[in-house]
Amino acid sequence: MDVGHEYDRFRTLVKPALESKLNEFRMLGYEKITEQELWDFLIKKKWKKIKKNPISIKLSRKSCLFR
């Protein structure tokens, strides 16, 4: 049974931030990046190690925007 990343439950909550980042990439000429590719980057690289304290919504949105 494939169990997703612990932070998958936040995906719908951070969707506006993901869309904002995708729009920013498109303005910079990166037309081919998808929302799924961006999400995969976040869970595989940015949030690679799941901390004992669950990630907050504010922190997850902030890291989606890479600020």
- Looking at the structure of the chain, the number of domains it has is 1
In the structure, what pLDDT confidence band is assigned to residue 9 with cuts at 50, 70 and 90? confident
Residue 45 resides in a domain: yes
Look at residues 46, 51, 39, 49 and name the one whose alpha carbon lies nearest to residue 66.
46
Residue 1 resides in a domain: no
Name the one residue in this structure whose structure tokens are 């995969």.
40
Domain of 47, in residue numbers = 6-64
pTM for this predicted structure: 0.68
Residue 41 resides in a domain: yes
Residue 54 resides in a domain: yes
Residue 60 resides in a domain: yes
Task: Give the range among 11-20, 25-34, 42-51 with minimum mean pLDDT.
Answer: 42-51
Residue that wins the pLDDT comparison between 13 and 1: 13
Classify residue 3 as exposed, middle or buried by CB count within 10 Å of its CB (0-12, 13-18, 19+): exposed
Q: What is the mean pLDDT of residues 21-42?
A: 93
For the chain, the average pLDDT equals 78
